[in-house]
Structure 1
Amino acid sequence: MRKLLQGLGITALSVGVLAACGTEENTNENNAAGTNDTETNNTENANEEAEGEDLGTLVVGASNVPHAEILEFAAPLLEEEGLTLEIESFNDYVLPNEALAAGEIDANYFQHIPYLETQIEEHGYDFVNAGGIHIEPIGLYSQEFDSIEALPEGAEIIMSSAIPDHGRILKMLEEKGLITLADGVGIEATIDDIEENPNNFEFSANVEAALLPTAYEKGEGDAVLINSNYALDAGLNPLEDSIAIESSDSDNPYVNVIATNSGDEEDERVLKLIEVLRSEDVRDFILEEYENAVVPVTE
């Protein structure tokens, strides 16, 4: 009996030792597994953080040159920031705002502040200026004359039919000494505000802005005033080919802006777009690509 109990004790002790070993091994395995799971989770979180936040997609309407080209350059930079950019190209000044109002695009990039304000007033758009990006100085081009001094008496000067551009154009011509406007007239000036016109220039304002390069190529008029985006699109270099060009000072009110529907100016995607478009990489691209015919601004 004593031997039997001793044998049972040894057996029980063996079982206990085995059980303890098994528990310790299981514990170690579980701890190891838990450690591996933690390391895996930490790695996944680190990878997610490295990839950046997914901001989704932003659809932006833009005129072909230079706006769409600038956006195309910025697209990979935005992708790195977690934002996918879709670009809808337009070749006029009407459809981009209609598309924005209809919700077909999230923002547009083609217009300067006076034009935006006029569009809001005329059409009741609930738009806001989300931020300025660059200036496109207007140039005066001529097939026949190589300087503004060479323009003859009574020369016909063709300008955009877009009224918001008239004050800008006339102020530029005044700065060049070609005309004098009435005192106190600002960017809202019209042809009727010309007070002195010593060379008796005739101003024609019945050509759509997008068709101005065509008028120039056909030799219509003695000189044509063309917005830089349309000049560039037609293969013209505003600095080399124009006989006079608008100042591109940073305080120029004709800065081209990102426009959105009211309330969307604080959209994280729009803020990221503006941040990247004002980045050093994009600024350098604009200056190198357009050789100061398009001038980036900072705010």
Structure 2
Amino acid sequence: MYRQQRVQADNKRDISLNKYTSNPAFVNNGYIDEHTRAHDENVSNDITDDQPTTGETVQNKANESSALRLKPFQIFRFADKWDIIMMIMGLSAAIASGAFYPLILLLYQTVIDSFIAIDRNQTEFETTSANIGLNCRNRTSYLGSDLSPYDNIMSILKWYAIFGVTCFVLLWIAFNCWIISAERQVRKMRYALINNIMRQDIGWFDCRSSSDLSSGLLVDALDNVRDGIGYQVADCTALLARIVACLAYSIWNGWKLSLVFLSVSPLIIIAFNITVVVSILFDCLTTLMAFFSIVYKENTEFIWTI
């Protein structure tokens, strides 16, 4: 904007000078110098008035950042068919890993019931052996099995290992698929960004510092995109699947206690949202302080130079 206004002002000045140089009276009387000086002062005042202040610059940057916000699925527009296949595989594996968590809780519940049954059988055996005799047999039919509690625990231990290895493999598949797909998409984004930067005019580079282009765009911004469409998606999907599966299991196993927890859960959600809002405000203040520190440093350097 400033460069265009300066070019237009220079053109007007050349036109006015050509008009007055054709008359020798103006040249002899020194009118051209006075006219040129007055014209330059008017142009400088106009350009200075049109330049935005620091607060307006910050506001314009905030408006541009809010206007250029992408929709959730627009960020995946660089994905090809292989990336889509890997994302679907990672999504399925993350959901399956979250669904295995209630099964682990079910095994844990069975083991705890078996430990309680061992103590219960020992107590019943000591109280009834004197009256019935030593030929009595304890049966654990309330556990759903004719095995003793000790044998029942030993039979469940192998399922712990099986479910643990299965969850590990599913999470490994989910995270690797999403990370590989994110790396491929960020690589295409980096190439497209470099091509667009190389096609810009010289004035575009004058308005931006080298640190903003090298570290701001090519490193920090793309790293945030890679983290956002990479392992964070797999982690969020696995946690959501785990929450839904555990909630369904708790309602099936004990719906009264589950309703008590659900009645308190809105308070937990509100507290979590307050924490998120506070962290976002802190990030905004940190960004503002960094921007104003740069302005202050530049001004102090100019004063020191003078």
Judging by fraction of residues, say which structure has more helix: 2
| Bigger radius of gyration among the two | 2
Judging by fraction of residues, say which structure has more strand: 1
Q: Same fold (TM over 0.5)?
A: no
TM-score (norm. length: structure 2):
0.22
